[in-house]
Amino acid sequence: MAIRINPSILSADFVNMERDLGAIATADLAHVDVMDNHFVPNLTFGPQMVGRIQDVSPIPLDVHLMIENPEHWAPGYAELGAYSVTFHAESTDNPVAVARRLREIGARAGLAVKPGTDIEPYLELMPEFDQILVMTVEPGFGGQSFIPDVMPKLELLDAARKKSGLDVWLQVDGGITLDTIVIAAEAGADTFVAGSSVYNSGNPEKAIAGLRAAAHSAHKH
């Protein structure tokens, strides 16, 4: 099974962003956390900055919108060339309309759920999405501890994906380390967002390779 390692640039040095994007060139996608200080109690950047990140990034962008009103904002990130745009189930009454618009523009459509949100109501929407993000921390900040209690959601998603035959990526985000990546991979995840364990390691390239190897070894079991 394909494994994807997506370092989160929330842990990069924002005034040396081009350098820190270069440091993760061996990863699959650069994970870009957009926060509006309403949906989550933190603020990062908007379309203008993400457009410049897109210009200089050596790898495609995996944009994660932790914002209200994705109906209004999400299409703009697809239009600026993001490879995937993920928005939160909790932030909209019409996730299917947002996903369809993203796909129309040419981006992969992603649906994210917070740790406290059940996945069952969204299982039937799987055909509308290219990836589902199960948050393994409360969204808003890097450097938090992985919440293992959400693993049953991945198991349900993995079973639903196998049953349907759909090629939907299952992503986890928050507290991913050499140890927790194995737990998430065993539960069915194939796409891993890691911020502090990559950027605070002192050697992002080695950290990415280590995470990739750990996830592969879990999938072999």
Ligand X SMILES: O=C(CO)[C@@H](O)[C@H](O)COP(=O)(O)O
Residues near ligand X (CB under 6 A) are 8, 10-11, 31, 33, 64, 137, 139-144, 173-176, 193-197
- Beta carbon nearer to ligand X, 78 or 134: 134
Active site residue 173: yes
- Beta carbon nearer to ligand X, 140 or 204: 140
Q: DSSP string of 38-76?
A: SSSS-B---HHHHHHHHHH-SS-EEEEEE-S-HHHHHHH
From 141, 138, 93, 96, select the one nearest 115 (Cα to Cα): 138
Q: d(Cα 147, Cα 137) in Å, to the nearest integer?
A: 6
Amino acid symbol at 96: V
- Beta carbon nearer to ligand X, 70 or 140: 140
Q: State in angstroms the smallest separation of the CB of 219 from ligand X.
A: 20
Q: State in angstroms the smallest separation of the CB of 162 from ligand X.
A: 27
Say how many residues make up the chain: 221
Cβ–Cβ under 8 Å, residues 190 and 169: yes
Q: State in angstroms the smallest separation of the CB of 191 from ligand X.
A: 12
Say which of 20, 28, 62, 173 is annotated catalytic: 173
End-to-end CA distance of the chain: 12
Active site residue 13: no
Say which of 33, 62, 130, 190 is annotated catalytic: 33
Catalogue the active-site residues: 33, 173
